[in-house]
C-alpha cells in the first residue's frame, strides 16, 4: 500500500486543495491504526495521507511541503524515531509526532532531546485529545515565524540597527572608560 489520500470534495481540483490544506502524513505498520487515524481526522481541514512505507514518507517530504508527520515507533523496517530524524534533516519545519503503544520510552526521549520528535501520542489514545493536539501543533506552526520572503525583507534593516547599537555601545564604553580614568 503506497499512500492513500482523502479529503477531496466534489468539484475541487487536487492542486487547489493542496494549496489550501495542511498536509498530514501518518505511517504505521498496522492498517487498522491508519484507518482509525484517517476516520479521526476526516472532518478536519487537512489533506491526510496514510502509508505503511517509510520510503513513501521520505518521497512526500522531498516532493512537497508536509506540515506534520505521525509515525509509529515500532515498525518492521525501521524505528519511527529514525524516520523522523531523517525527516527533520530534510524538512526542519515539519512537525514530528511519534506514536507508541510500548512502555519503553528511552529511544523516544533521546529523539525528543535531539529535537527530532516534537510530541508523543500513546496508544490507545483519547480521540478528542488526539485531534486537539494535532490542531494545536498545526496552528502553532502556521503562526510561528514569518515566511522566508518576509524574514529576508526585514533582515537587512535589523542588521543595520544592530550595527548602530554596537557602535553606540562601543562609544559609551569608551566614554565610561575615560570618565573612570579621570576620576582615578
CB 92 within 8 A of CB 62: no
Residues near 116 by Cβ (< 8 Å), separated by ≥ 6? Answer: 81, 84, 85, 88, 96
Instruction: Report which secondary-structure segment, H or E, holds 16.
Output: helix 14-20
Is pTM beyond 0.85? Reply is: no
DSSP string over 121-182: EESS--HHHHHHHHHHHHHHHHHSS--HHHHHHHHHHHHHHHHHHHHHHHHHHHHHHHHHHH
DSSP string over 45-67: SEEEEEES-HHHHHHHHHHS---
Quote the cell numbers at residue 63.
Answer: 516532493
Residue 164 is predicted with a pLDDT of 82
Which of 72, 66, 108 is closest to 90 using CA atoms?
66
Residues near 123 by Cβ (< 8 Å), separated by ≥ 6? Answer: 33, 99, 100, 101
CATH superfamily of 3-143: Response regulator (3.40.50.2300)
Burial tier of 61 (Cβ tally within 10 Å: 0-12, 13-18, 19+): buried
Give the span between the Cα atoms of 83 and 31, in whole angstroms. 18
Give the span between the Cα atoms of 14 and 49, in whole angstroms. 13
Q: CA–CA distance from 165 to each of 39, 87, 93, 156, 162 (Å)?
A: 55, 39, 31, 14, 5
Residue by residue, pLDDT tens for the chain (184 residues) are 445 444 444 444 444 333 458 999 999 999 999 999 999 999 999 999 999 999 999 999 999 999 999 999 999 999 999 999 999 999 999 999 999 988 778 888 888 888 889 999 999 999 999 999 999 999 988 887 545 555 566 667 777 877 888 788 888 888 888 888 888 7
Amino acid at each position: 500500500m503506497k499512500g492513500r489520500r482523502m479529503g477531496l470534495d466534489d468539484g475541487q481540483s487536487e492542486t487547489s486543495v493542496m494549496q489550501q490544506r495542511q498536509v498530514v502524513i501518518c505511517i504505521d505498520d498496522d492498517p487498522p491504526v491508519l484507518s482509525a487515524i484517517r476516520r479521526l481526522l476526516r472532518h478536519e481541514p487537512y489533506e491526510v495521507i496514510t502509508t505503511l512505507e517509510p520510503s513513501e514518507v521520505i518521497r512526500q517530504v522531498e516532493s512537497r511541503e508536509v506540515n506534520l508527520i505521525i509515525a509509529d515507533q515500532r515498525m518492521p523496517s525501521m524505528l519511527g524515531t529514525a524516520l523522523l530524524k531523517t525527516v527533520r534533516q530534510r524538512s526542519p519545519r515539519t512537525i514530528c509526532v511519534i506514536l507508541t503503544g510500548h512502555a519503553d520510552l528511552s529511544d523516544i526521549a533521546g529523539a525528543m532531546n535531539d529535537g527530532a520528535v516534537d510530541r508523543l501520542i500513546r496508544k490507545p489514545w483519547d480521540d478528542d485529545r488526539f485531534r486537539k493536539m494535532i490542531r494545536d501543533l498545526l496552528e502553532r506552526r502556521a503562526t510561528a515565524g514569518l515566511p522566508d520572503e518576509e524574514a529576508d525583507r526585514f533582515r537587512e534593516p535589523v542588521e543595520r540597527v544592530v550595527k548602530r547599537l554596537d557602535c553606540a555601545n562601543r562609544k559609551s564604553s569608551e566614554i565610561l572608560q575615560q570618565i573612570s580614568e579621570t576620576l582615578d
